[in-house]
Structures are given as C-alpha cells and as structure tokens.
Amino acid sequence: MGLATIIRKTKLKERQMRILILGLDGAGKSTVVAQWMSTPTLEVSPTFGFHIHTLAHPPYMLHLWDIGGQRTIRSYWRNYYEETDGLVFVVDAAAPQRLGESMSELRMLLGEDRLASASVLVLANKQDCKGALPVEEITAMVGQFKTSCRVMGCSAVTGDNVSDSLNWLIKDIATRLYHKV
C-alpha cells in the first residue's frame, strides 16, 4: 500500500475533512472562517499567505485552509488543491465591479482536475450591504459553469446563514465519503 493510500485511509477513519476557502481579496473568506471558528470577526486582517484552522464538528474534524486572495498570491492556490474534500468560493456580492474577475477565477477552479471530486459551495457574501447582488443572480452566473455547485447568500459580519452554509457543506461531503450523515 502506498503512502498516499495510507494517508487517505487514515483521514477517512478519523473522519477528517479538508476544506479549501478561496475567492478574491476582500471577499470575506477570513471573516467567514472566523464565524465558523466562533472567534471575533473584527480582528480579521488581509491574509498574506494562508492560515489553517482545525474545527471539531462531531463526528468530523475539519481542516479549514484559508488562503489569501490577492492577485499576486493567486498563482499559489494550486499548491493547496490536493486531497480537498470541499471547496468554498467566497464572492463579494456587494462589489459588482469585481464579479467578472471573481467568476473567471471560479471558472478556472471548476475546470481543475484535482478539485473535480470536491463538494463546491459558493457564498454570495456581504448580503447585509445595500445593493448587494441577490443570490439568484450569482446562482445564474455560476450555473453557466457547473450546475452541481451550491450557491448560498450570507453575511460574514452579521453571521446570517454562515453556519447553515457549513452544515450544508459537511453534509454533502459526508454523503459522498461515508454515504451517511
């Protein structure tokens, strides 16, 4: 048995899930993660590189990989694709001028072989902001690339829909990996 197989089996046995959080700079990735971790969202600052957080969500152990989204570091995203169970792509719904850039990055990720088996959750974040694009509009855009992605609206600042989104993701991954929830 090869090392990769042993690691994969251990991961399954220990019910670990690897979740990769990507999206443009300022989309709200680290603030979403802070909500999931129940840590103060006001202390979040731009991510230069990446942060890994471990969150117990019985019976699962989640490894949350929060990667910086600035253009200059996006070329490093590919270093984190391997063994991903869930991809969370965060969109700033209150920045329509950056939607084209955001969708083009998402399209690239959805075409990536190493992410092909991951559950995909797109968060239309910042729904608390006046003029934020409604989730239906972002769903229609994402649907042009892949229909099996789940798109949910949320606000990482108010916490609205943030834990529901994580629950959906865990359930989707668990159904695939363990055939039960």
Ligand X SMILES: Nc1nc2c(ncn2[C@@H]2O[C@H](COP(=O)(O)OP(=O)(O)OP(=O)(O)O)[C@@H](O)[C@H]2O)c(=O)[nH]1
Residues annotated within a binding site for Mg(2+): 30, 47
Pick the closer one to ligand X by CB: 21 or 170: 21
Q: Which amino acid is at 77?
A: W
Q: 97 catalytic, yes or no?
A: no
Residue for token digits 């152990």?
61
Binding to ligand X (CB under 6 A) within 16-75 occurs at 23, 25-31, 44, 46-47, 68-70
Is 161 a binding residue for Mg ion by CB under 5 A? The answer is no
Dist. CA 176–CA 55, nearest whole Å: 20
Pick the closer one to Mg ion by CB: 30 or 165: 30
Is 30 a binding residue for Mg ion by CB under 5 A? The answer is yes
* Helices then strands, each counted (H, E), the chain: 5, 6
Is 129 a binding residue for ligand X by CB under 6 A? The answer is yes
Contact region with Mg ion (CB under 5 A), list: 28-36, 116-124, 130-138, 166-174: 28-36
Which parts of 49-117 fold into alpha helices (H)?
Answer: 99-110
Question: At 55, is the secondary structure helix, strand, or coil?
Answer: strand
Question: At 140, is the secondary structure helix, strand, or coil?
Answer: helix
For residue 111, the minimal CB distance to Mg ion (Å) is: 24
Q: Report the first-to-last Cα separation within the chain, whole angstroms.
A: 28
> Rule CB under 5 A: which residues touch Mg ion?
29-30, 47
* Residues tagged active-site: 70
